[in-house]
Structure 1
Amino acid sequence: MLTGARRVGWLVRTVARARSADGENERGSTSLELAILFPVLLLVITGLVQFGLWFHARSLALVAAEEGVTAARTYHSGEGAATARARQFLDNNAADTLADITVTASRSGAERIRVEVTGRALSILPGVPGPAVAQSAQGPVERFTTAGDP
């Protein structure tokens, strides 16, 4: 039977032997874990950055479409004013963020205007095109009416 001091000494020696045995068997495991996890971590970070660029480009396209609708809604304005205003906004704010930009404006009847902005977001991977972006906005056109006219 082991006494108190001997029992503690025996326990410490047993734990030390177990630790040294485990350490020898797991030599290099940290390097292997990092070699497996690091590319996954880089892929996740790249995906998050690409998503952020796409979301920013999408927001800029939506604001440009809204600017175009605002310009085309005024009395005696047309589709040309909508595309010009949207292009001006994109040239001033999204020159480096959106590529292959197209702006189209169309009227449905004399009462509504619709502006659509499409393009591609900036890509952080060389040779890979960025994700597509398409946003549109629409609104009623200002017009004068007479009493009894809808």
Structure 2
Amino acid sequence: MPALRTRPWRHLAGRPWWRQDRGATALDMSMVVPLAFLLVFTLIQGGIWFHGRSVAHHAAQQAVDAQRAYDAAPGAGEAAADAFLARMGGSLKGAVVQVSDDGDTVSVAVEGDVINLVPGWSGHVRQSVQAPVEKFRP
């Protein structure tokens, strides 16, 4: 009967068994932390991309509003978009504003690049807005 009372973990008694996995936490962290950083930076990159997209859309809307006004000067839309982009503090790098006015409709396209935090990802945004030209009809 005394043989049944032996403990199965008896072979661990007398030696520091918890030290045999020394360095396992550092190894686990070296695998998990880069993945966590990639996830966090991808979420931040998504927010930056949506912000850049919103800035491009608002710049295009400002340009359309300025260009479609009654008796607007030929470069009013592009100047309004450039002024808006300057106020936004460089949210879009290399922003290009294209204004086309066919007499009845004004179309504006704004495109540029946002800051990249995730390597290998292209942060190019393009937004366009169009509206009819205001005309005076007696």
Tell me the TM-score normalized by structure 2. 0.79
Contact 1:116 1:135 in 2 (8 A): yes
What are the Cα deviations for residues 71-129 of structure 1, in whole angstroms up to 9, with x where unaligned?
11111225411111111111111x3321111111002x321101111111123479x78
Secondary structure, counterpart of 2:61 in structure 1: helix
Distance (Å, rounded) in 1 between the aligned partners of 2:35 and 2:10: 35
Aligned to 1:68: 63
> Does the C-alpha gap of structure 1 residues 34 and 136 become closer, same or farther in structure 2, counting only changes over 3 Å?
same
Q: Sequence identity of aligned pairs in percent?
A: 33
Distance (Å, rounded) in 1 between the aligned partners of 2:121 and 2:24: 38
Name which of 76, 80, 92 aligns with 1:81.
Answer: 76
CA drift at 1:29: 2.5
Distance (Å, rounded) in 1 between the aligned partners of 2:83 and 2:48: 21
- How many residues matched? 135
- Counterpart of 1:104, as a letter, is Q
Aligned to 1:6: none
Aligned to 1:54: 49
Q: Which has the higher helix share?
A: 1
The answer to whether 1:135 aligns with 2:130 is no
> Does the C-alpha gap of structure 1 residues 28 and 72 become closer, same or farther in structure 2, counting only changes over 3 Å?
same
- Runs of 5+ consecutive residues of structure 1 not aligned to the other structure: 3-9
Tell me the TM-score normalized by structure 1. 0.73
Distance (Å, rounded) in 2 between the aligned partners of 1:27 and 1:104: 62
Contact 2:38 2:118 in 1 (8 A): no
Aligned to 2:108: 115
Contact 2:62 2:84 in 1 (8 A): yes
Name which of 91, 96, 110 aligns with 2:86.
Answer: 91
> Does the C-alpha gap of structure 1 residues 51 and 138 become closer, same or farther in structure 2, counting only changes over 3 Å?
same
CA drift at 1:27: 3.9
- Runs of 5+ consecutive residues of structure 2 not aligned to the other structure: none
Secondary structure, counterpart of 1:53 in structure 2: helix
The structure with the largest alpha-carbon Rg is: 1
- Counterpart of 2:108, as a letter, is V
